[in-house]
A and B are shown apart, each in its own frame.
Chain A
Amino acid sequence: METNHQRIDQFKQELADVNVKTPVDQGERTYLIAGMALAVVGLVVILIGWWGASGTAIVAEQIPYLISGGVLGLGLVVIGGALFVRYSLTRYLRFWVIRSIYEERAQADRQVEALERLEVALRETAGARGASAAAGVGGAGPVAAARQAHVADAGTGASTDPTAF
């Protein structure tokens, strides 16, 4: 058997290629379809009620159509509509939240990359400045030495010049 660190690394790499089904919320889909179906059934019931009520001029005969067609149909439309809106909103909000998270992560990645680039640039600049500073110290050497020699000459001259008194 190969050594197990290798085996575990291989296992982890192979895991990445395993196909995993995207989770689907089956209940949500069912409620969405049920909501639409209820609303459609409600509309049909209202139409039947209207058709029944319009077929007679007697108010007492129209009332059952009003109750079973109008009120029941309206109830079904309201319940169906509520279900549909509730689950559509859930879907939309989920999409919106995931989109925000995705964007946020992408933005964070971009910022980290930019900061890394900045860091590299700063390091390079600092390196270049350090190199030129080192070269600067070397260049200033003769000037400083000359200045010191001049001061020393002046001092010596002052002490040895007999006309100084």
Chain B
Amino acid sequence: MSDDPVVLGDVRTVPPASLDPDVPLLELRGVRAAYGRIEVLHGVDLAVPEGKVFALLGPNGAGKTTTLGVCSGLVAPTAGGFYLAGRRMNGVHPEDLARVGVCTIPEGRGIFPNLTVRENLQMMTFSGRSLAEVEEHAYQRFPRLAERRRQMAGTMSGGEQQMLALARGLATDPALLMLDELSMGLAPLVVEELYGIVAQIAAEGVSILVVEQFARTVLGVADVAAIMVQGRISKVGSPTELEAELSAAYLGG
């Protein structure tokens, strides 16, 4: 049987997710999405292979965050298909995706600024892990958070806040991690450090989709990269291939 679902009156067969490692863990096929009557994505095709880092780059307003919204179930596509491990997931609830291991770290980090680092981590115990376990993993990966465990999250530096956001995301033991503008508002050195951590996470086999506007640093850790312009993927290739074309894409060349 092929992988497409067959809807047949009350007879409905949904193929299970494919166990074939060649099937991309995340795939968008001709996805269109709109906010009201304004269409933002005009047929996006992308595939994140299992255990790889996929960098989605593009200028402001290209539709990158909307693409992430589709991938996390927050924005329903108006056309096209959103597939996870070969299973069509259009119309899925975001909480169901989060539960199975799709983790999104939104632009602006999404941490609780008026809670301490420890309390922020405590929010992730909903995933069934104990606070001690969550803390152990977080501090092991980000020793700086251990030093600041009693500090209000909002008073930390941008890089530390981003670390906290990453630590919280990783507490859910994700299979697919999506990062939106990790480098936003951070110094280049901090960005480099954070991408070093992203590379470590990728080495553990987590598939990662990174959305970035400016950071070329991401190309250093990515296996595949794509440039998105005006709601379409204009180029997909290896990071080295794309680096040369990046400026032209931003400047509309």
Contacts and interface: CB of A to CB of B under 8 A. Distances in A.
- Same assembly: yes
Nearest to B206: A4
By size class, the interface of chain A is 20 to 34
Contacts of A19: 92-93, 96
A105 B1 CA distance: 6
Interface in A30-76: none
Interface stretch (A10-18, A81-89, A132-140): A10-18
Interface in A18-35: 18-23
Contacts of B97: 18
Contacts of B89: 15, 18, 20
Counting chain A CB atoms within 10 Å of each CB, which of B88, B90, B101 scores highest?
B101
Looking at chain B's contact residues, the main secondary structure is: loop
Given A7-B173, A13-B17, A102-B6, A20 B91 contact: yes
B149 interface: no
Contacts of B50: 8
A146 B38 CA distance: 98
A1 B85 contact: no
A40 B102 CA distance: 50
A18 B8 contact: no
Interface string B38-49: 000000000000
A8 B87 CA distance: 14
Contact of A95 (B2, B9, B12, B205): B9
A147 interface: no
Contact of B91 (A3, A21, A95): A21
B85 A15 contact: yes
Nearest to A103: B8
A98 B173 CA distance: 39
A8 B96 CA distance: 16
9 contacts: A8-B175, A8-B205, A15-B16, A15-B100, A16-B16, A19-B93, A19-B96, A20-B87, A22-B7
Given A15-B89, A15-B100, 16 more contacts: A1-B137, A1-B173, A7-B173, A9-B19, A13-B17, A15-B84, A18-B89, A18-B97, A20-B88, A22-B7, A95-B8, A95-B9, A98-B7, A98-B8, A102-B13, A105-B2
